[in-house]
Structure 1
C-alpha cells in the first residue's frame, strides 16, 4: 500500500479555522481532496482553541472536530488529527496559559498567542508537570470521544515540535512520546506517529527516531529540498532529498516511514522559478519559489522515488494556496512564501502538483505502484548522532542521482 494524502487548512481561514468554523467550507474542500483521489487529510488541532485552560477542553472545538470527521466519512476520505499545534507555518502559537511571566529574546520562529506576537517564554512541554498533565488531558478527551470513529486514519502527536520548544534531553522527548502513546491507547487502537521533520536527522534537536519508534506504529518525516543546506541555493527542487530522508528515518528507527510532509513554495502566479527576499530575524533571506510546471515535475519525481524506497506514502504540503484576505495576518504577512504551497490555487483550480498527486493515486489504485528497488539502509543511531549533519550530507552526495 502507498497512501496519498494532504495537509489541510481551509484556504480562507488558515490557522483561524477553529475560531470561525463552517461545516459547508469543510464539505466543499474535503470534496476537492476526494476528487484528487487522495485518501487522507492531515488536520491540526490548534492548541489554544482546543484547550483554553490547562484543565479545560473546549466543548465547541470537540464538537467541530466531530463534524470534520463526519464530513470526511461522507465524502470518503480519512483524517489524521494532529495534537498540540503548536508550530505552524513559521510561527509558534502558544496557549496563553502555557507562557511564563518572563520575557526572552525575539527569535525565529516568532511566538504568538491569541493572534498577537509576544516576547514571553513558554513552559517546557516535555518535562513541566503542568504541561504534561494538560497534554494528557487533551489527548484523553479527544480519544475518549472519537477513538473509534471510522474516519480516523491515525493519530499524530505534534507538528515539528522541536521548533515549538526543543527538549532539554532526548530522554525527555522519549518519555513524552511514551506518555502520549499510553493516553491514546486507553481509548483508541488506531496507528500513532509523532510528526517529526528533517532536523531530527541533521542536528541534535532533542528527538531520535530509535527512541520514538517503540511507541509509534510508524515513523513520520517532513522533508523539503528547498530548505536543505546542500540544495536550497543550488538545486532547490532536487528530488533525492525527500526519499533519502525516508530511508535514513527507516534505518535509524527500524520502522516503516510515512513521508508526512513534502512540497515547495510556488511563485504567486506560478509562472516563474526564482528567488525572493523575505525577512527572517530582521535580516533579508533568499527563498526559492518555483513555477507550477517545475513544481509539478518535482512532485512526480518525488512520488516515484518514495515508492522505490519503500515509503508508506506521501502527504503533500498543502491543500491550497491561501486566499489574499489572509496575507496581512500572522504568519503570512512575514512568511510570504507560505502563502503558495498548495496543490490547488486559492481560486480552487488544480496546480500541476495536484495533478501529479491525482495521477499517482490512480496508478496506485490500478495496482501499478512502482516496486521497491532501494534496499533498506543499515545505520547505527549511536554512530549517526556523533555527526548527524555530516552523515546526512555524506549519504546525500553518495545517493544523489542514484535513487
Structure 2
C-alpha cells in the first residue's frame, strides 16, 4: 500500500526548516559534476601493472605513463591512486619528500594523458592487505582514530600531500583512505575501536586539514559497506552522507547480494544503484553528489565470461540515479600472478590484464564512456520512495534492515522487479512535504506493504 503525499501534509510542514549540508562542506570540486545537467565522470582505480602498489618502492615513471595511456585510450577521464602509507610516512614526524615528488610526477603524467587524479592517503587497507606504519603497531601501538599523536601524524601526512598537489589543475582532491572503517572493529584481527562520536571527530578534523591545504577540491572519505549495513558500526550512514564534498559508495556484490540473488539477479546488477539511493536518503542536502568510487565484477560470483555484461548492466543502472556524479571502476589492471597470497578474486578484477591486454570488461567500460560523451544519460525522476527506518538518524542502530536479506533491501528489490525505480526516504522525513517535493517524491511505500 502506497501513501500519497497530500495537501494536508504540505500544509502541516509549510514553512518548516529543512536542514541541509549545502555550502563549503558539501559543494563539489569545480572539476567534478556540479548540477543536474552535468555528465557523470568515468574512470578507474589505478592498480599499477608492474609491482601493484609496491611500485612506490621501485617507482618507474615510464611504467606509469604506459598504464595511464592505456586507460586514456579506453576513453576514461580520471583515475584514483593510492599512496602506501608506510612508504610515504615511515615515521610520525617524517613524510618522505621523494615519495611526495613521485606522487606529483604521477599526477603530472596523468595530466599529459588527459586524466584527472583523486588521491587516497591512509593506505591503510588494500585487497586484503593492511599497510600501517610501524609507529602505530607493536611496541608503538596506538589507536589510529583516538590517540592524539596518531591523529596528529595522519593530519601532518594529509596536509603534506594535499599542499603538494593543490596547484596542479588535474588534481581532484583527497580521499582520507581506502575503507579505513574496517580498522574500527570486528572482523579485523587487531582493531582500533572507537565510538561513533570519535569516528565523526576523526573524519571532521582530517577533512578540514585537506580543505585548508587544498581549498575547493573533492575531499572525501570512503568506507566499506558496514557503514550502511552493520548495526553498531561506529562509522555511520549520516557521516558518510553528510561529511566531505561528496558521498562515496563502494559496491561489491560479494557482500551477500550475489550469493542470495545470483549474478544476473535484479539485486546484483542494481546493487550500485541501490547504494546510491541509500546515500541520497541519508544526505541533508538533496543535491549532494554521490561518487560510485569502487565497483567491480568479482569472480566466481560473477563468472569471468559474464563480467562485461555485468559491467554494462551495473553502469547502466547506476546512471539512472540523479545524484550520481562519477563511476570509478575497480580496477585498472589485473594483479600479476607473480605476487602471492591475494584472495583469488583479487587477481582478475582489472579492465586490462597484467600484460596490458584489454579485457571484455574493459571494452564494455570503454563503450559506456563513449555513450556518455555522445548521449548523456537522462536520470530517472523517482516519484516513489521506500520508507527506511533504521532508528535514530545519527547512529542508525537498526541499519541491518538495509543489508542483503534485510526487509528494506528485499522490498526495494521486489519493487525493482515490478518495474519501479524507487528512491529511499528516511522514516523521519516521510511527512516533510517540502523535503519530499525537493526530491520529486509524490508517494511513499513501506517495506511491509511491498508484496
What TM-score bracket applies, with the shorter chain setting the length? 0.7 to 0.9
CA 1:131 to 1:13, structure 2 compared with 1: closer, same or farther past 3 Å? same
Q: Matches of 1:130 and 1:244 in 2, distance apart?
A: 39
Counterpart among 238, 251, 267 of residue 223 in structure 1:
251
- Provide the residue aligned with 2:139 in structure 1: 101
Higher RCO (C-alpha under 8 Å, 6+ residues apart): 2
Deviation at 1:233, TM superposition (A): 5.2
Q: Which whole-Å CA distance do the structure 2 matches of 1:397 and 1:213 have between them? A: 22
Aligned counterpart, 1:199: 226
Q: Does the residue aligned with 2:139 lie in a helix, a strand or coil?
A: strand
Shift of 1:140: 1.1
**Residue 176 of structure 1: aligned partner:** 202
Deviations 1:259-279 (A, max 9, x none): 10011234xxxxxxx5xxxxx
- 2:129 counterpart of 1:91: yes
Q: 2:292 aligns with which of 244, 252, 259?
A: 259
The reply on whether 1:240 has 2:278 as its aligned counterpart is: no
List per-residue Cα deviations over 1:348-397 (Å, max 9, x = no partner).
Answer: 12122111211111111113314234357664664472321223422322
1:381 and 1:391 map into 2 onto residues whose CA distance is 8
| Most deviating of 58-67 and 9-18 | 9-18
The question of 1:388 aligning with 2:399 is answered yes
Q: Cα deviation per residue 1:109-150 (whole Å; 9 max; x = unaligned)?
A: xxxxxxxxxxxxx53221111110101100111122211211
State how far apart, in whole Å, the 2-side matches of 1:258 and 1:381 are.
23
Equivalent residues in 2 for 1:4-403 (5 A)? 4-101=42-139, 123-166=142-185, 167-188=193-214, 189-203=216-230, 204-225=232-253, 227-232=254-259, 234-237=261-264, 238-254=268-284, 255-266=288-299, 274=300, 288=301, 290-292=303-305, 294-310=306-322, 311-326=324-339, 328=340, 333-374=341-382, 379=388, 382-383=391-392, 385-392=396-403, 393-400=406-413, 401=417, 402=419, 403=421
The 2-side partners of 1:162 and 1:252 are apart by: 18
Note if contact 1:174-1:207 (Cα within 8 Å) is conserved in structure 2.
yes
Which stretches of structure 1, 4 residues or longer, exceed 6 Å deviation after superposition? none
Shift of 1:164: 2.9
Which runs of 5 or more structure 1 residues have no equivalent in the other structure? 103-121, 267-273, 275-287
Rg larger in 1 or in 2?
Answer: 2
Q: Conserved in 1, the CA contact under 8 Å of 2:269 and 2:313?
A: yes
Separation (CA, whole Å) in 1 of partners of 2:92 and 2:218: 26
| Secondary structure, counterpart of 1:324 in structure 2 | coil
> 1:62, 1:184 → 2: CA distance?
15
C-alpha deviation, 1:181, in angstroms: 1.6
**Offset at 1:61?**
0.5
Q: Deviations over 1:238-274 (max 9, x none)?
A: 21212101110221133321110011234xxxxxxx5
Q: Tell me which moved more, 313-322 or 236-245.
A: 236-245
Relative to structure 1, the CA distance from residue 68 to residue 334 in structure 2 (aligned partners, 3 Å threshold; closer, same or farther) is: closer
Moved more, 180-189 or 35-44: 180-189
Structure 1 length-normalised TM: 0.83
Superimposed CA distance per residue, residues 318-369 of structure 1 (whole angstroms, 9 cap, x where no aligned partner)? 001122222x2xxxx2412211111111221212211121111111111331
Structure 2 CA distance, aligned partners of 1:377 and 1:80?
33
1:136 to 1:5, Cα distance in 2 relative to 1, 3 A: same
The alignment's TM-score, normalised by the length of structure 2, stands at 0.75
Q: Across the two proteins, how many residue pairs are aligned to each other?
A: 357
Q: CA deviation at 1:234?
A: 4.4
Secondary structure at 2:168 match in 1? coil
Q: Which residue of 2 aligns with 1:285?
A: none
